[in-house]
Copies of this chain bind each other. A is one copy, B any other.
């Protein structure tokens, strides 16, 4: 434990060269005579010497470290996206430092400070404050203090800050779902789950309303205003409540339900089955994210896919381009794709 770390000086001394020469073979920044080079490399092997990234980044200015603030990696959506970022970063020679905020604003600020102290080269902000329909001013102020020196990339939006947005095209995500459902003869379509103050959710809602006329949808608050959360329990509750309201108003059950994500869809499916309806024959169910549960639930769920690998890659590339001072769009969109599965694979008359 108390063993002193080997340094470049130790190697230099034993090899009978200067520290600079050792540094040169380490970085490959300049030519070194073959015999010296071999000698040095042997010593490096012998002591299993790894140059300190800490000392290195003191001069380098570039730390090769990207910070990520995520709401909670225990949520598959963030886990998938985080891993995609980690892999993309690794391939470009960067390391990623993950910090969770658990949806707590104070925590987000604290984690941001931690990243600044670590002198990360860029900050990636997933969820949390970036999800707010109206950005928290206090957080924006806090962010603006660092945004001058470190580029910030987010998948949501942070109004009043100078950040880069790489986001799912939520409008398109709603469109492909509607096209699919309408093409299958569904016109009484319900929305389930999600919070009204989350920007990606709101965009989808607004788009649904925008398209309702064109597609001749049977729009009523009983079908569309079923807010909730993003998990399986909430999904089930939300759907139970919808059934209750519909019965009260003597309205027919929907022909299709668009759940805000796959977990919610799983809950919705449970509720529908508990109420004695078949999926997709009586009611079709579709949702967003295409995470594992969509492939696992019975029936398998039709879901909108974002290609996380690609998503993460774009995020990391944007971060690196931004720190390199390259000109890049402040706003980029991820194209969603529809994966059709049994839960909606049914044509209604």
Q: Which residues of A contact B (CB under 8 A)?
A: 1-3, 5, 48, 50-55, 57-58, 63, 72-74, 76, 79-80, 82-83, 86, 95, 97-100, 113-114, 116-119, 145-146, 148-151, 232-233, 266, 270, 296, 298, 322-323, 325
Contacts and interface: CB of A to CB of B under 8 A. Distances in A.
A145 to B, nearest CB: 4
Contacts of A148: 1, 3
A264 to B, nearest CB: 12
Contacts of A323: 1
14 contacts: A1-B148, A1-B149, A5-B119, A5-B149, A48-B145, A50-B113, A53-B117, A54-B63, A73-B73, A73-B82, A74-B80, A79-B79, A95-B114, A232-B296
A245 B146 CA distance: 63
Contacts of A114: 95
B3 A149 contact: yes
A41 to B, nearest CB: 16
A3 to B, nearest CB: 5
Contact of A117 (B51, B86, B100, B150): B51
Contacts of A298: 270
Nearest to A6: B149
Nearest to A55: B58
Contacts of A57: 54
A258 B53 CA distance: 47
A78 to B, nearest CB: 9
A330 B327 CA distance: 53
Nearest to A2: B325
Given A1-B149, A79-B79, A117 B50 contact: yes
Contact of A98 (B51, B53, B98, B150): B98
B232 A48 contact: no
A95 B118 contact: yes
Contact of A58 (B51, B54, B74, B98): B54
B79 A119 contact: no
Contacts of A52: 117, 119
A266 B79 CA distance: 21
A118 B5 contact: no
Q: Identify the 5 closest CB pairs spanning chains A and B, nearest first.
A: A48-B145, A53-B117, A3-B149, A74-B79, A50-B116
Contacts of A86: 99-100
Given A50-B113, A52-B117, A74-B83, 17 more contacts: A1-B149, A1-B150, A5-B119, A48-B146, A51-B117, A54-B54, A55-B58, A58-B58, A73-B79, A73-B82, A74-B79, A74-B80, A86-B100, A95-B97, A95-B99, A97-B97, A266-B296
A151 B1 contact: yes
A296 B1 contact: no
Contacts of A119: 5, 52-54
A161 to B, nearest CB: 14
Contacts of A2: 325
A121 to B, nearest CB: 10
Nearest to A57: B54
**Max chain B Cβ within 10 angstroms of own Cβ: one of A100, A145, A146:** A100
Contacts of A232: 296
B98 A83 contact: no
